[in-house]
Structure 1
């Protein structure tokens, strides 16, 4: 009995020591030296997740768990702004009149604004609304308006405010600058623009009522290198264009 008790004590101590070793020593230390490959371990770990950085603007790719996510950031493109365009071109003052006349040929022929006739409304001079700088020639909508002489277009407008759609032409008459002004054309009816040459009697647009107008007509003016408007009727009568 004495020896049997000692044997049981030894076995118990051996069991306790074995349990302690099993729970305190890392599993890797119990593996044989030949069963662990550091290079293989690194390759497998790297295959699980990777990241690569590419050139700026091209984005990046991330491989994760069997799928690849591509990211891309495009370079912003500025939105072009429309250019500012004025509907009015050229000018109709004295300086523009003289410059246009210098570029024009001598006028050898003349034409009425309305060769087939018109009805005179407001003449040149004072009126209730203020001084009238031209004459109003009434006619039907869409009736062609004609240039009174050869010349060069020095001003044109697509809306023109109170004058509506208008046109101004510089002429050289006996070496003197004479400029004619036509107002209230129909929208989009002008047939010539700034810098164009015109001939006497050429159709330059259609009668309308654009701008400050209550009915279809052509407001017609004449002026010279000083820019001052004068009664156009004596000039038209003198040249057979009244």
Structure 2
């Protein structure tokens, strides 16, 4: 009787153990390597990452959404820039005459910005440009190839600013950028710039309550106009 009870106990324990294994261990862990063949991971550039299996096993491919890594644009070393040059219509025309024809265009902030005050009347008076908000120290880019015609390292209401003359369709066009960080200008009067070149860093110098770039466009007559339609058409 005792022997029979012992045998029954062993059989019962074996059954319980077998059920536990079958319900808790993944089936794939009990398979051999030959059941799945080889496994390969591919990651090419910004394309989707793909898991693929090969061999006798009939496994589906699994794909994940791709992604793009943006590498920050290296920021050039600032240079000592004194207040010089002029940003009137005559200086705009002279600078445009010395500049190559602009064929490429860039936004002041290629990676985006938040629009604040637009062009036109406001409580403080007529706003001659647009205010583009961004974080402190974010690089500011030249909108097109041209020649720097005015710079200020410590200027009044505009704070630290730059003006650049361009030639677009044979006509003079000047862009002006205000409120850079102190000591962040990368170029000075007479320097040639290219489209998208970093010219300084976002700040709040002068008459500014937060970090942003006040951006203007004007021609040889010196009259400012709304820069947004031009930028949308040329920079996309």
The aligned residue for residue 96 of structure 1 is 91
Q: What whole-Å deviation, never above 9, does each CA across 1:11-66 have from its counterpart, x for those lacking one? A: xxxxxxxxxxxxxxxxxxxxxxxxxxxxxxxxxxxxxxxxxxxxxxxxxxxxxxxx
What is the aligned partner in structure 1 of residue 146 from structure 2? 151
**In 1: Cα distance, 2:134 partner to 2:212 partner:** 5
CA deviations 1:83-139 (Å, max 9, x no partner) are xxx942000000000000000000010000001100000000000000000000000
Aligned twin of 2:112: 117
- 2:155 pairs, out of 155, 160, 168, with 160
Residue aligned with 1:162, SS: coil
Task: Check if 1:234 corresponds to 2:234.
Answer: no
1:189-228 correspondence to structure 2 within 5 Å: 189-228=184-223
Q: SS in structure 2 opposite 1:237?
A: helix
Stretches (4+) displaced over 3 A: none
State the distance in 2 between where 1:116 and 1:87 align: 29
Report if aligned partners of 1:110, 1:239 keep a CA contact under 8 Å in 2: yes
**How far apart are residue 240 of structure 1 and its match?**
2.1
| Structure 1 runs not aligned, ≥5 long | 1-85
Are 1:132 and 2:124 an aligned pair?
Answer: no
Under a length normalisation based on structure 1, what TM-score does the superposition of the two structures give? 0.64
Larger radius of gyration: 1
CA contact (8 A) 1:141 1:216 kept: yes
- SS of corresponding position for 1:98: helix
Cα distance in 2 for partners of 1:210, 1:127 equals 21
Gaps of 5+ in 2: 1-80
Q: What is the total number of aligned residue pairs between the two structures?
A: 156
CA contact (8 A) 1:87 1:160 kept: no
Which secondary structure state, in structure 1, belongs to the residue aligned with residue 235 of structure 2?
coil
What's the counterpart of residue 181 of structure 2? 186
1:159 positional shift: 1.1
Q: 1:87, 1:127 → 2: CA distance?
A: 32
1:161 counterpart SS class: coil
Give me the whole-angstrom Cα distance separating, in 2, the residues matched to 1:170 and 1:87: 18
For residues 240 and 194 of structure 1, what CA distance do their matches in structure 2 show?
25
Q: Quick one: distance in 2 between partners of 1:87 and 1:106?
A: 27
Query: How many Å separate the matches in 1 of 2:94 and 2:224?
Result: 17
Match of 1:176 in 2: 171
